[in-house]
Amino acid sequence: MIQNRDADHLDEFLDLQEAVAGKYSLDHEIARGGMGIVFLARDVTLDRPVAIKLLSPRLAVRSDMRERFLREARISAKLSHPNIVPVHSVEEAGEFVFIVMAYVDGETLAERVRGHGPLKVSDAIHTLREISWALAYAHAQGVVHRDIKPENILLESGSDRALVTDFGIALVADAVTEELGDVLGTPEYMSPEQSSGEEVGDASDIYALGALAYFVLTGKPPFVAERPAEVIAQHIGAPVPTLANPNRPFPPSLKILVERCLAKNPEDRPESGEELAELLGQVTQKTQELPVPLRIFVEREKTSESRRNVRLLAAFAFGPMVLGALGVGLFTGSPIAKTIAGLIVAALVASPVLIPVARLRTLLKAGHGRNELISALHEDAQKKVEELAYLYGEGHEEKSKKLRIGGLVTMGTAGGLMTVAAAAGGDLAGVLAWLGVTGLIGGAVMGTVAEKRSAKKWFKKVKFWKGKFGEGLFRIAGIGVDTKPDVGVLADRPTEIAVGMAVAGLYEALPPATRESLGDLPAVVKKLEEDAARTRSKVEELKSLIASAETAPPEVADLDLIDRLRAKRDEASYRFSDAMAALETLRIDLLRMRAGSSDTLESLTQDLGSAKQLSDQIARLLEAKDEINSDLNK
């Protein structure tokens, strides 16, 4: 039954339906904003659902707005891409002017994040790449979106394909804002140049996509304030916030890329949507790469987990018999029996420690530390969760728990039956033994199925190695081992020192000939560490100077000086990010080299040259400190 679900706008609904009767059959209103209203309708001739975006009647009466809307909509209608919502037609009917678009059954990206929380890193990268491809295509056609935000990204039901909508319409919205004083849209995703009223181009969409990336990964935009003007001011002047979420780690390369998209200077952002999509793809590859020693350790952890479950189930079945045999050997047997029993007990007690310690020593000798192992295990666990959710759907953890309990009970009962059978004798013993064997097989099958459906055990591994016992095993394994600095995230150190130490450790692990070809790498890394530390200090110093200058009474405040301080603060922030990005690039190159990549040495040499140039630029920036102090002392 055709109905309007918003009774307050019934007249508007009926007037439009009357105007398009015989061509479109309206169902209900989907959304409403400052620019207009979106209705779900049906194309009567083609018998297909469509979305009709109606220009607000109060704007449609203005001929200039009407013509501008039609012109921009017709440009958008020429776009044809898998990740852009198709525009079927641009039409006028009486006093109404509207766009007829394909109806996408799904939800907006804003609804997804607000309803289910931030996206998983892999899902976020997949969505962002699709949006990047859409922008790359539109920009190649000379069309700038101007209003990339979560509400303008649709996620198709079933496939989760991202589709961008409302291309070009923001240009009309800008005109409305200027001429009527209306506040349209949201400022959270506006580039600094758009916020300042300057001419915008492709780079403005890249900035908006960076802000959108921040939102889908953290659940909030990069800048938040009570008033739109305050948000706009932060886009223009505030340093780029670090991508962070307390519930999950982000790949360093992803953090660097998001910050690069949010650069204040358009020239510092990725040059195109195509380049951004490629860089996002490289982030995915880097998060999937693990050096060989770590990869082997993680795989062994999986195997040992499977074996542990088998041993646990077997203990329920044969535990009583083993304990009985040990008791006889220790307290009533011969000296030889006591010795054998003692060795068995010692092996049972020592094996949980000796086996992992031996593996850890191998890992430490290869130059990998505890933090890197934890990061690798966490990443592997995240992948496992995604795979299991896809295979078994929601609730698979609860089902696996019931299966596991059932398997343990079955195995324990089977073990009891076999123990009784051993003492019973006669025909009863055969029946009990047969039931016990059957129970063992059934319990083992249930346990195997439960193991396949559960991801909790993988996170338990992460928790174990992060805990005190895991730390203790690493300490024991490190006795007498000439360990290299941990190439993971080194705790309790500034980030620049942590990454620098990681790079130094990886460099020292290289063959002598390779180290000789990269002889100036340690000096460059040390210089980048110092550059990052000094620029970090510079940013804090400039923040303090700005705060002091802004508290001065209006009649004596030096606005020109404040502007200059802000500009230098922003430049120092950019250079700090650049120094950290250079360090991270060198670390990734070395990791790839150790993983066996054939073309990494050439890439590393090029990145090393770029790092040297960057360090020289930062040195020139830091020389400006005397100039600032001179200004303040006037």
Q: Which two tokens stand for residue 293?
A: 């020693």
The one-character DSSP state at 161 is: -
What is the tens place of the pLDDT at every residue in 404-429? 787 778 877 877 777 777 667 666 77
Tell me whether residue 397 is exposed, middle or buried, using C-beta atoms within 10 angstroms of its C-beta: 0 to 12, 13 to 18, 19 or more.
middle
Predicted local distance difference test score (pLDDT) of residue 453: 61
For residue 256, which of 271, 247, 243, 244 has the smallest C-alpha distance?
243
CA–CA separation, 397 and 384 (whole Å): 12
Give the number of other CB atoms < 10 A from CB of residue 178.
Answer: 10
In this prediction, residue 494 has a pLDDT band, given cuts at 50, 70 and 90, of low
CA–CA separation, 399 and 195 (whole Å): 52
Predicted local distance difference test score (pLDDT) of residue 278: 85
Predicted local distance difference test score (pLDDT) of residue 147: 86
Residue with tokens 């910050």: 259
Predicted local distance difference test score (pLDDT) of residue 266: 92
CA–CA separation, 200 and 189 (whole Å): 13
Predicted local distance difference test score (pLDDT) of residue 351: 55
Percentage of the chain surpassing pLDDT 90?
11
Is the confidence at residue 22, as pLDDT, over 90?
Answer: no
Indicate the SS3 state at residue 99.
strand
Percentage of the chain surpassing pLDDT 70?
69
Predicted local distance difference test score (pLDDT) of residue 600: 62
Q: What is the mean pLDDT of residues 301-328?
A: 52
- Pick the residue with more confidence: 377 or 103? 103
Q: What is the mean pLDDT of residues 327-346?
A: 59
- C-alpha distances in angstroms, 114 versus 122, 189, 234? 18, 17, 23
Predicted local distance difference test score (pLDDT) of residue 346: 59
Predicted local distance difference test score (pLDDT) of residue 127: 93
Buried b (16+ CB within 10 A) or exposed e, 265-277: ebeebbebbbebb
Bridge partners for 53 per DSSP: 38, 99
In this prediction, residue 221 has a pLDDT band, given cuts at 50, 70 and 90, of very high
Is the confidence at residue 348, as pLDDT, over 70?
Answer: no
Specify the CATH architecture of the domain 106-288.
Answer: Orthogonal Bundle (1.10)
Asked if residue 365 lies in contact with residue 481, where contact means CB atoms within 8 angstroms, the answer is yes
Q: Which two tokens stand for residue 72?
A: 């921009």
Is the confidence at residue 185, as pLDDT, over 60?
Answer: no
Is the confidence at residue 289, as pLDDT, over 60?
Answer: no
- C-alpha distances in angstroms, 290 versus 3, 368, 578? 56, 11, 25
CA–CA separation, 134 and 82 (whole Å): 8
For residue 69, which of 81, 58, 80, 82 has the smallest C-alpha distance?
58
Mapping DSSP onto H, E and C, the string for 22-50 reads: CCEEEEEEEEECCCEEEEEEEECCCCEEE
For residue 371, which of 294, 302, 287 has the smallest C-alpha distance?
294
CA–CA separation, 355 and 628 (whole Å): 60
Is the confidence at residue 161, as pLDDT, over 80?
Answer: yes
Indicate the SS3 state at residue 324.
helix
Q: Which two tokens stand for residue 473?
A: 């095993």
What is the tens place of the pLDDT at every residue in 99-129? 899 998 889 999 999 998 898 888 899 899 9
Asked if residue 411 lies in contact with residue 439, where contact means CB atoms within 8 angstroms, the answer is yes
Side chain identity, residue 610: S
Give residues with Cβ within 8 angstroms of 493, minimum separation 6: 501
Q: What is the mean pLDDT of residues 297-309?
A: 60
Asked if residue 450 lies in contact with residue 401, where contact means CB atoms within 8 angstroms, the answer is yes
Element (H, E) at 72: helix 63-77
* Helix, strand counts (H, E) of the chain: 24, 8
Give the number of other CB atoms < 10 A from CB of residue 365.
Answer: 16
Q: What is the mean pLDDT of the chain?
A: 75
For residue 192, which of 274, 272, 269 has the smallest C-alpha distance?
269
The number of angstroms, rounded, from the C-alpha of 267 to the middle of its chain's C-alpha atoms is 25
What is the tens place of the pLDDT at every residue in 258-282? 999 999 999 999 999 989 988 888 7
Give the number of other CB atoms < 10 A from CB of residue 190.
Answer: 27
Asked if residue 397 lies in contact with residue 455, where contact means CB atoms within 8 angstroms, the answer is yes
Q: Side by side, which strands form the sheet with 48-55?
A: 24-32, 36-43, 48-55, 96-102, 87-93
The number of angstroms, rounded, from the C-alpha of 17 to the middle of its chain's C-alpha atoms is 44
- Pick the residue with more confidence: 392 or 487? 392
Predicted local distance difference test score (pLDDT) of residue 263: 92
- Pick the residue with more confidence: 242 or 626? 242
Predicted local distance difference test score (pLDDT) of residue 349: 55
Predicted local distance difference test score (pLDDT) of residue 626: 45
Q: Which two tokens stand for residue 234?
A: 């932060």
Helices (H), 454-599: 456-466, 468-477, 495-508, 512-517, 521-550, 559-594
Give residues with Cβ within 8 angstroms of 185, minimum separation 6: 33, 34, 147, 149, 170, 173
Supply the pTM of this predicted model.
Answer: 0.50
Half-sphere exposure at residue 597, Cβ-oriented, CA atoms within 13 angstroms: 18
- Pick the residue with more confidence: 482 or 86? 86
CA–CA separation, 499 and 485 (whole Å): 10
Give residues with Cβ within 8 angstroms of 507, minimum separation 6: 515, 518, 521, 522, 525, 590
Q: Inter-axis angle of helices 370-392 and 292-331, to 10 degrees?
A: 90
CA–CA separation, 12 and 18 (whole Å): 10
The one-character DSSP state at 219 is: S
What values do phi and psi take at 460, rounded to 5? -65, -35
Side chain identity, residue 141: Q
Predicted local distance difference test score (pLDDT) of residue 260: 92
- Pick the residue with more confidence: 602 or 116? 116
Report whether CATH 3.30.200.20 matches the domain 7-102: yes
Per-domain boundaries in the chain? 7-102, 106-288, 292-477, 495-632
Predicted local distance difference test score (pLDDT) of residue 296: 76
CA–CA separation, 77 and 74 (whole Å): 5
Q: In this structure, are strands 87-93 and 162-164 parallel, antiparallel, or unpaired?
A: unpaired
Give residues with Cβ within 8 angstroms of 526, minimum separation 6: 500
Indicate the SS3 state at residue 57.
helix
For residue 165, which of 92, 109, 91 has the smallest C-alpha distance?
109
- Pick the residue with more confidence: 372 or 488? 372
In this prediction, residue 564 has a pLDDT band, given cuts at 50, 70 and 90, of confident
Asked if residue 57 lies in contact with residue 119, where contact means CB atoms within 8 angstroms, the answer is no
Bridge partners for 310 per DSSP: none
Predicted local distance difference test score (pLDDT) of residue 565: 81
Q: Which two tokens stand for residue 437?
A: 């064997």
What is the tens place of the pLDDT at every residue in 73-101? 787 788 888 889 988 888 888 888 888 99
Tell me whether residue 229 is exposed, middle or buried, using C-beta atoms within 10 angstroms of its C-beta: 0 to 12, 13 to 18, 19 or more.
exposed
